[in-house]
A and B are shown apart, each in its own frame.
Chain A
Amino acid sequence: MNTNTMSYKTKQFLMFAGLTTAAFFAVVIVPFIYGLYLTFTSWDGVSKSKPFVGLANYASAFADVDYWQALGRTFIYAVIAVILVNVVAFLLAFLVTSGVKGQNFFRAGFFVPNLIGGIVLGYVWKFVFNRALVALGTSLSIGALSTSWLATTNGAMLCMIIVSVWQYAGYMMLIYVAGFMSVSADVLEAAMIDGCTGVQTIVHISVPLMVSSFVQCLFLTVTRCFMVYDVNLSLTKGEPFGSSVMAAMHVYNQAFTYKNYGTGQAEALILFIVCAVVGVLQVYIGKKAEVSA
């Protein structure tokens, strides 16, 4: 049987990937194109008519100061959160692969926060920041804790970052754990025989061999942080004074609350492009750094 013909290849493709491709097309590609079309209309979300307005939505998106502020805020939040999540996750992964007692228990424990949905997580932490910490601060008269952090502009951002780190560190830890495990024991043994110290082994042997873990973790955290919405909604709701509204929340408000569907859609597209560029760039650079033993 000739396996090199076009029809054979098509059949093979349809057999193995046909269903998923169709599903992907239906729920991702088609809505994406339709969304793109909506950015050229002044649709309010309900009306039957969708008047064509050309690039007006993009003009108003670029003129929307609040949007760019939200995007800038998201950028700062994402940079800090991504660094902290990965540092914490890496350290945790190192700890739970170094052979401490009960490391499987710790692995499971650190992963649990990731199993709680973002909305619930937000409410739980809201209670912690608004009540528990304040009660603690007042009774021990610690000035910094006696008022809620969520009430100040920088405090609200800090809270967002703390919760994100708490939420994602466990998940990323699992990927780093897999990375640590994938470094074969003979390479490590060879390094030890050559006289590497513990730190040297990690920096020069383990880390270069687990670059793919870093690439995955960074990609996941970068995209998740840029798209953050659930924690934002339940933890701060954009308050105080709208100073913690992240890009995704602004897009939602613009489209559905302020009923500027086209503008919101255009802003969502800009957010998508920013995310895509950052994500792809980061994967591209990361892939280049991968080595194998």
Chain B
Amino acid sequence: MKKRKLIAAALAAAMAVSVTACGGGGGNAEGGSGEKGSGSGVAFTIFNSKSEIQDQFEELAKEYSEAKGVDVEVYMSQDTVAAHMATKYSSNDPYTLAMVDAKDIYSLGPEHGIDLSDQDWVKNTNYAISVDDKVLGFPVCIEARGLMYNAEAIEAVTGTEFKPEDYATTDAFKGLLEQLVAGGMATPTGVMKEDWSLGAHFLCEVYEEQEDVEGFITALHGGSADLANNAKWNSLMDTFDLLKQYNFAASSPVAAEREVLEQQLAEGNIAFMFGGNWDWSLIKDFEPSEKLGMMPVPQNTDDGTNNKLVGGGSKYFFIDSSDATSDEQRQAAKDFLNWLVSDPEGNAFLTEKCALVPAFSNVEATGLDPLSLSVKAYADGGNLVPNYDYMPDDHYAKCGASFQEYLADSIDRAGLAGKIEEYWKATAPVEH
């Protein structure tokens, strides 16, 4: 009995100690950050939504904090960006500096962002986002979509140097695919089945390459656009049919796994896949050939779009305007953005450590990965068809699902066009 009492007392004591320890720890931590806030410099937070550069960002935060005497903390979330921002704003705990997607700048910026028009970097970029004449979004990098190719694999079959510009038309591209098959590459293409790839990346090119994008979207909403007889729709879908026909995963296309396809491309078992320079983050794990690159989606057209990639600024920083953020924090965040653009170390962080295609004309980038080098070449030459940033939020999921049905041969091209037209008619226009 006595023993038991002793044990009980010991346990109680242990718990009491641990509780006070927790309390003490919490107090210390608060004290610590308070000291920093009032002492040498300010503390501010950064939200990073590019998971592949989180390690680099954390390292940077440490170095930047030491060099500049400000306390930078970097956070990341696996949640969708909009959902995560919603949580932070509803708990009144916003980030000082948040990296979000273009559409989030339009939805969050006017209410939660500050005007950055007076910043030095504004004159060095064509990709900043402005709403009502206020610059709200700082472009983190350039990303573009197109056809990824593995030149080494192509040349191994054809025996001649691969020049992407020779295959700008669907007809020429078809000839090359047939030559590759004849030469022993059974399935020269890959098609990702992800709804964002089909719905948000490929299908959107149909809208973005129209002569009058806004007009076309309005016509789709109004039900007057005839997608099935639209020249752009048909020229892009003709090429998609080729990609689908020669698809590595043709036996079960909607079960294709992205990692497998990227590996096939990296190793040269397939030669072409529609994607973007962000695919490098997966491809690099498979010891890829250095002769990878990106080219425009071939089309039988003479409007010039088959010589351009589609893309532009991707991921934007905005600075929080709410009362939860102090003016000193806002200034520190502005300084940080300027440092990224105008300081050699900031430049090196963007282009070398994170391997991003810079969105600023004064930033040099020579050490990029092969896909990004292609994107940079097209961007520098002014050969990017701009992104359309006002897509309805459910477009990629719903039209992507219909596109998957097309990929799985459950519906034909006319059926897909009909479903997409129906979607637009049933959807309210995005205000902008």
Please tell me which one of the listed residues A48, A134, A242, A257 contacts residue B83 in the complex, with CB atoms under 8 A apart.
A257
Asked whether any CB of chain B lies closer than 8 Å to the CB of A259, the reply is yes
Chain B, 32-70, CB within 8 A of any chain A CB:
none
Say which one of B171-179, B225-233, B288-296, B393-401 lies at the interface with A. Answer: B393-401
Is A240 a contact of B257 with CB atoms below 8 Å? no
Tell me whether B255 and A150 are in contact (CB under 8 A).
yes
Given A46-B112, A151-B252, A240-B408, list of 6 further CB < 8 A pairs?
A: A46-B108, A150-B255, A241-B401, A241-B402, A256-B80, A258-B393
Please tell me if B20 contacts chain A, counting CB pairs below 8 Å: no
Q: Does A7 contact B (CB under 8 A)?
A: no
Flag the segment in B84-92, B302-310, B346-354 that touches A: B84-92
Within 8 Å by CB of B82, from A240, A241, A242, A259, lies A259
Residues of chain A contacted by B402 (CB below 8 angstroms)? 241
Q: Pick from B111, B195, B255: contact of A130, CB below 8 A.
A: B255
The 6 closest A-B pairs by CB, nearest first: A148-B255, A45-B86, A151-B255, A242-B401, A256-B83, A258-B394
Task: Tell me the minimal C-beta distance from A4 to chain B in angstroms.
Answer: 32
0/1 interface trace, chain A 115-150, chain B, CB 8 Å (1 if under): 000000000000000100010000000000011101
Cα–Cα distance between A257 and B394 once the two chains are bound (Å):
7
CA of A259 to CA of B253, assembled, Å: 30
- Subset of 9 A-B contacts with CB under 8 Å: A46-B85, A130-B255, A240-B404, A240-B408, A242-B398, A256-B80, A257-B82, A257-B394, A259-B82
Partner of A147, one of B86, B193, B252: B252
Instruction: Report how far A261 CA is from B401 CA in the complex, Å.
Output: 22
- In the bound complex, do residue B252 and residue A239 qualify as a contact, i.e. CB atoms below 8 Å apart? no
Taken together as a complex, chains A and B put the C-alpha atoms of A259 and B395 apart, in Å, by 12
Q: Check B224 for interface membership: any CB of A closer than 8 A.
A: no
Using CB atoms and an 8 Å cutoff, list the residues of chain A in contact with chain B.
44-48, 130, 134, 146-148, 150-151, 239-242, 253, 256-259, 261
B34 to chain A: closest CB distance in Å?
A: 27
Return chain B residues, CB-CB under 8 Å to A150: 255
Expressed in whole angstroms, the Cα–Cα distance for A134 and B398 within the complex equals 28
How many whole Å from A255's CB to the nearest CB in chain B?
8
A residues within 8 A CB of B86? 45-46, 256, 261
- A242-B397 in contact (CB<8A): yes
Known: A47-B111, A147-B251. A239 touches B404 (CB 8 A): yes
Instruction: Kindly supply a per-residue 1/0 record for chain B positions 350-385, scoring 1 wherever the CB is within 8 Å of any chain A CB and 0 otherwise.
Output: 000000000000000000000000000000000000
Q: Are B111 and A253 in contact (CB under 8 A)?
A: no
Instruction: Check A147–B255 contact: CB distance below 8 A.
Output: yes
Contacts of B193 in A (CB 8 A): 239-240
* Min C-beta distance of A15 to chain B, whole Å: 18
Contacts A46-B86, A242-B398 given; does A259 touch B393 at CB 8 Å: yes
A193 CB to nearest chain B CB (Å): 45
**Nearest chain B CB to A173 CB, angstrom units:** 32
In whole angstroms, what is the CA distance A84 to B251 when docked?
A: 32
- State how many angstroms separate the Cβ of B400 from the closest Cβ of chain A: 8
Cα–Cα distance between A147 and B254 once the two chains are bound (Å): 10
Q: Is B281 an interface residue (CB 8 A)?
A: no
Nearest B residue (CB) for A127: B257
**Minimum CB distance partner of B84 in chain A:** A256
A89 to chain B, nearest CB (A): 30
Complex-state Cα separation, A44 to B393, whole angstroms: 12
**Least CB separation from A48: chain B residue:** B111
Q: Judge if B107 is at the interface, Cβ distance under 8 Å.
A: yes
- CB-CB < 8 A to A151: which residues of B? 252-255, 408
**Distance to closest chain A CB from B402 (angstroms):** 7
CA distance A48 to B410 in the complex (A): 44
Least CB distance from B259 to A in Å reads 11
Q: Which of B90, B255, B402 has the most CB of A within 10 A?
A: B255
Query: Would you call B115 an interface residue if the criterion is a C-beta within 8 Å of the partner chain's C-beta atoms?
Result: no
Write the nearest CB–CB distance from A194 to chain B, whole angstroms.
Answer: 47
How far apart are the CA atoms of A146 and B252 in the complex, in Å? 9
Does any Cβ of A come within 8 Å of B101's Cβ?
A: no
Chain A min CB distance to B181 (Å): 21
Name the A residues within 8 Å of B393 (CB-CB): 257-259
A165 to B21, CA, bound (A): 44
- What CA separation (Å) do A256 and B84 show in the bound complex? 9
Assess the B257–A130 pair: CB atoms within 8 A. Answer: yes
Chain A residues near B394: list those with CB within 8 A: 253, 257-258
Q: Within 8 Å of chain A (Cβ to Cβ): is B238?
A: no
Task: Name the CB-closest residue of A to B410.
Answer: A241
- Say if the beta carbon of B405 comes within 8 Å of chain A: yes
> What CA separation (Å) do A80 and B393 show in the bound complex?
34
For the complex, give the distance between the alpha carbons of A47 and B110 in Å: 10
Contact A45 B401 (CB under 8 A): no
Which chain B residue lies CB-closest to A138? B251
Q: Which residues of B contact A258 (CB under 8 A)?
A: 393-394, 397
Q: How far is the CB of B203 from chain A (nearest CB, A)?
A: 14
Residues in A with CB closer than 8 Å to B108 are 46
Residues in B249-266 with C-beta less than 8 Å from chain A:
251-255, 257
Taking CB atoms, residues of chain A closer than 8 Å to B195 are 239
Residues of A within 8 A of B83 (CB): 45, 256-257
Considering the complex, give the chain B residue whose CB is closest to the CB of A45: B86
Q: Closest CB-CB distance, B404 to chain A, in whole Å?
A: 5
Bound-complex Cα distance A241 to B82 (A): 23
A183 to B79, CA, bound (A): 48
On whether the beta carbons of B111 and A45 are closer than 8 Å, the reply is no
Question: How many angstroms from the CA of A44 to the CA of B251 in the assembled complex?
Answer: 41
A257 to B84, CA, bound (A): 11
Given A256-B80, A259-B393, A241 and B408 touching (CB < 8 A)? yes
Q: Which of A130, A241, A253 has the most CB of B within 10 A?
A: A241
Q: How far is the CB of A30 from chain B (nearest CB, A)?
A: 14
Measured in the bound complex, the distance between the Cα atoms of B292 and A146 in whole Å is 32
What residues on B are CB-neighbors of A48 within 8 Å?
Answer: 111
How far is B407's CA from A240's CA once the two chains are assembled, in angstroms?
10
Report chain A residues within 8 Å CB of B251. 146-147
Q: CB within 8 Å of A: which of B87-146? A: 89-90, 107-108, 111-112
Distance in angstroms between the alpha carbons of A261 and B405 in the assembled complex: 28
A46 touches B107 (CB 8 A): yes
Given contacts A147-B255, A257-B83, contact A46 B404 (CB under 8 A): no
Whose C-beta in chain B lies nearest to the C-beta of A65? B426
Task: Compute how far the CA of A148 lies from the CA of B108 in the bound complex, rounded to whole angstroms.
Answer: 41
Contact between A239 and B107, CB atoms less than 8 A apart:
no
Q: Which residue of A lies closest to B398 (CB)?
A: A242
A261 and B82 alpha carbons, distance in the complex (Å): 12
Q: Which residues on the B side are within 8 Å of A261 (C-beta)?
A: 86
